[in-house]
Amino acid sequence: MTGRCRAAIYCRLSKEDTEKHGESESIQNQKAMLAAYAEERNWEIWDIYSDEDFSGIDRERPAFRRLLKDAAAGQFEIILVKTQSRFTRDMELVEKYIHGLFPLWGIRFVAVVDNADTENRGNKKARQINGLINEWYLEDLSENIRAVLDSKRKRGQYIGSFAAYGYYKDPADHNKLLVDEPAAEIVRSIYAMCLSGMGRQRIAEALNRQGIPNPTQYKQQQGLHYRNQGQGGWNRATVGRILKNRLYLGDMVQGKRRKASYKSKQLLSVPAEAWIVVPQIHSPIIDPETFEQVQKLLQERTKSGAKGQVHPLAGKVHCMDCHRAMLKYTNTYQGKKRCYLRCAGCSQGLCSSHAIRLDRVEEQVRLRLESYFTRWGKNADFLLRQASDQETEKYHKELERIQGEIGRRTKALQGLYLDKIQGIITPEQFMEWNKTYQEEQQAFKLRAARLEQAMQQASPVIRQEALQIKSLPRALAVLAIQMVEIGEQDKNTGRQIIRITWNF
């Protein structure tokens, strides 16, 4: 090691620098200038640290963090930058490092263009003024960027880095969304499963069983450099976001979150009334009627349990005394599992014990609905048809999807055979993959057969000629019932009041 001072060169370039100054602020320009400056003073260049596409307010710049680590370890005596703003635009970091830790570590800080040098005690105030100016600049820049982005949002221009699942960015206009049909079909399937009575967890499990890539995996398969925590498969949170997203109606909804400040990466939720919404700006994937029905179902659902199963009266049963929701729980008695509903206030000591077997409530509701329809048959026709149509549509959509999967497996088998004939794959590979595709196709055919059988048994859901309800479908319960109230059981007679408020 020579006796020369060791200097660490730090360079930084951000997008705003490129747009405003062009090549003059390039990393190469900074390196050449600073290397020449060090050579003129006979300083040994220890290393060159550079961060590209990072803001001066970002504290997690990788080369910046490495520079500070090496400085604390005493690897060099000088930090050399073009301007103080290249090192940081954050006044707090100026005070912490340039005026605080660097002197303790024996580090001299030199900014060439600013003529800032910590060896010269007389220009400390100039460095502090520079720090303030740099921070004001960043604050103004942040406000300007926010104003530009808000203007784009209000014009219905999409400003996200990646399009939402079901869409892709128009190659000719990246602020416009186009329908990505393969993903859009999965979105439609998710809405259909929800209408059929499946909870978010069950929907996620169904998608995972079918081997359908989740939104993160799908984007990555499209060649997009997308990173997220959702690489393990579908989950209830992802399904829930899709079911609630008005984007699928053709509406552009943006501005749901904002940064806490220009210095922070933390995002805060914005109240729904402050979101920026531009209706009907791109092609919809879901029709308004389906979307509204799904929102109604989601609002009325209670927690569905591990398997995501939602009982027909979920969210509609309340305690007659304290008016809190009656929550589902399972109890085992003499080896038999039974589902009960219990007042939410009971476990908190806020209400007396209100509990009832779920199957008894469903049976009472079914009988009273049947009685209502028998008395008012003509007036009930529309409601009956609507519930039956929903149930039938659910089966038809699922059958169409399964038949599509069978067709895809058939094409795959044909392609596999051609690949074997042409020598693209070995006979062993053909045997292995052929077996896999055959098993998958057989499984889908079995599901299709079971679904067709279920359609015959469930069609119609209600026998209108006798106005008898064979079961209590979730769709019918949502359409017919506003609330079911459960009274406390009489300890002497065992009687328990069940009061139903109808939607008609």
321 and 447 inside one domain = yes
- Assigned domain for 97 exists: yes
Q: Are residues 137 and 181 in the same domain?
A: no
Which value, to the nearest 10 degrees, does the dihedral of the CA atoms of residues 295, 297, 303, 308 take?
Answer: -110
Helix (H, G, I), strand (E, B) or coil at 448: helix
Same domain, 274 and 370: no
- The answer to whether residue 79 is domain-embedded is yes
The answer to whether residues 144 and 285 belong to one domain is no
Buried/exposed 195-220: b ≥16 CB within 10 Å, e otherwise: bbbbbbbbbbbbbeeeebbbbbbbbe
Q: What share of the chain is helix, strand, coil (3-state, %, to 5)?
A: 50, 20, 30
- Cβ neighbours of residue 256 under 8 Å, at least 6 residues apart? 269, 270, 275
Based on the fold, state whether residues 277 and 192 are members of the same structural domain: yes
Q: How many residues does the chain have?
A: 504
| Site of tokens 């038999």 | 336
- 46 to 77, 204, 453: CA distances (angstroms): 9, 54, 77
DSSP 352: -
Task: Enumerate the β-bridge partners of residue 484.
Answer: 317, 500
Is the same domain home to 124 and 30? yes
Question: Which residues fall within 8 angstroms of residue 246, CB to CB, at 6 or more apart?
Answer: 253, 277, 291
Strand partners of residue 110: 80, 117
312 part of a folded domain: no
Number of neighbouring beta carbons within 10 Å of residue 416: 18
Round to whole Å and give the CA distance between 212 and 209: 8
Residue 349 shares a structural domain with residue 271: no
Give the residue carrying structure tokens 């930084």.
12
Predicted local confidence at residue 29, as pLDDT: 85
Domain of 141, CATH number, reads 3.40.50.1390
Quote the pLDDT of residue 119: 84
- 157 within some domain: no
494 assigned to some structural domain: no
**Rounded Cα–Cα distance for residues 305 and 347 (Å):** 18
Q: Give just the sign of the alpha carbon dihedral 195, 196, 202, 203.
A: negative
Same-domain status, 38 and 80: yes
Q: Are both 350 and 286 inside the same structural domain?
A: no
Assigned domain for 336 exists: yes
pLDDT of residue 475: 66
Backbone angles phi and psi of 232, in degrees to 5: -85, -5
Is 132 part of a structural domain of the chain? yes
Mean pLDDT per block of 10 residues along the chain (504 residues) reads 79 68 68 90 93 84 93 94 86 84 92 84 63 59 62 75 87 88 92 81 88 87 65 82 90 73 58 79 89 79 47 83 81 79 74 85 84 61 56 68 79 75 74 78 80 60 46 72 87 87 78
Residue 443, Ramachandran bin (φ over 0: left; ψ between -120 and 50: alpha; else beta): alpha
Nearest to 398 by CA among 447, 437, 365: 447
CATH number of the domain at 287, please: 3.90.1750.20
* Structural domain boundaries, residue 369: 317-486
- Tell me: do 235 and 282 sit in the same domain: yes
Task: State whether 400 and 475 are in the same domain.
Answer: yes
Of the three residues 300, 329, 361, the one that is the final residue of a domain is 300
CA distances for 372 relative to 209, 458, 468, angstroms: 41, 21, 10
- Cα distance between residue 54 and residue 45, in whole Å: 23
User: How many domains in the chain?
Assistant: 3
Tokens of 140: 């103004």
265 three-class SS? coil
- Supply the pLDDT for residue 3: 59
Q: Residue 141 falls within a domain, yes or no?
A: yes
Distance between alpha carbon 377 and the CA centroid of its chain, in Å?
45
Let me know if 333 is exposed, middle or buried by CB neighbors in 10 A (0-12, 13-18, 19+): exposed
374 and 482 in a single domain? The answer is yes
